[in-house]
Structure 1
Amino acid sequence: MSDFENVPAAASVPSDQRTMALAAHLLGIFTGFIGALIIWLINKDDASKAFVTDQAKEALNFQITISIAMLICIILMIVIIGGILAPVVGLISLVFSVIAAVKANNGEAYRYPFALRLIK
């Protein structure tokens, strides 16, 4: 079963859904996983908003992964390497969130390359 099975084609995604998906990805930069969680919880039961639900879930999974990575960096600051890794994790989060937001705004379903799929 494909991850993209319930996601509409790019041409058929309404503008308001693309905007909500864009917001789900960009809110991760400022709010961590909280913004994507709120958007996912609001839209998860509405079958007509499959694109928003899918992209908010994807953003949520990625932001949870980033939160875990940052927690590991904080722990590793005891041996100094965490201080080097934390900015790298932050930069990765910023870059991939912007790429995902642009793809979502174009109506394309985006999958982060190394996110843990905790929310199915």
Structure 2
Amino acid sequence: MSEETSLQVEEINQDSKNLALLCWIGTIFFGFIPGLVLYLVKTDDEFVREQAKESLNLSITVIIGYFISSLLFIIVIGMLTMFAVGIFNLVFCILGAIAASKGDSIKVPYILRLVK
């Protein structure tokens, strides 16, 4: 293996994988708080910071989705959209947790990228 390819392949340690995994699982139960805390605290670990940023962007999008669903709750469609937003959040948090445990990055589609 040449020196150039060995620099591109960066090994992610188990602690980074575990923190990213906890971030995604914590997002299911605590919303934006785990992503925000890890994004602000783990500035030295690029993998954890990237996953926390993605989790935070997902949480912000879900909060906006719940807000719009609550406005639509006057008509029946609000219940359906609230259910759909909840399923969307659960599915992508699980996919993020699986990817983080393997050391892979995940880019969640259809979310607002407000935290850059």
Question: What is the 5 A alignment of 1:7-22?
Answer: 9=9, 12-22=11-21
Q: Is 1:24 the counterpart of 2:20 in the alignment?
A: no
CA distance in 1, matches of 2:88, 2:115: 21
- Indicate the residue corresponding to 1:42 in structure 2: 41
- The answer to whether the aligner puts 1:102 opposite 2:101 as a matched pair is no
1:3 alignment partner in structure 2: none
Structure label with greater radius of gyration:
2
Gaps of 5+ in 2: 1-7
3-state DSSP of counterpart to 2:109: coil
Q: What's the % identity of the aligned pairs? A: 37
Q: Which residue of 2 aligns with 1:72?
A: 68
> May I ask how many residue pairs the two structures share in their alignment?
109
> For the aligned residues, what is the CA RMSD?
1.3
What TM-score results when the alignment is normalised by the length of structure 2?
0.89
1:57 maps to amino acid: K
Matches of 2:56 and 2:89, distance apart in 1? 12
Measured in 2, the distance between the counterparts of 1:24 and 1:118 equals: 18
Aligned-pair distance for 1:102? Answer: 0.4
Instruction: Report how far residue 85 of structure 1 moved.
Output: 1.1
Distance 1:60 1:87 in 2: 20
Deviations 1:13-51 (A, max 9, x none): 00000011111111111011111111111112x2xx100
Amino acid at match of 1:23: L
Q: What's the TM-score once normalised by structure 1's chain length? A: 0.86
- Runs ≥4 in structure 1, deviation > 6 angstroms? none
Whole-Å separation in 2 of the counterparts to 1:29 and 1:110: 16
Structure 1: any 5+ residue segments left out of the alignment? 1-7
- Give the residue type in structure 1 aligned to 2:73: M
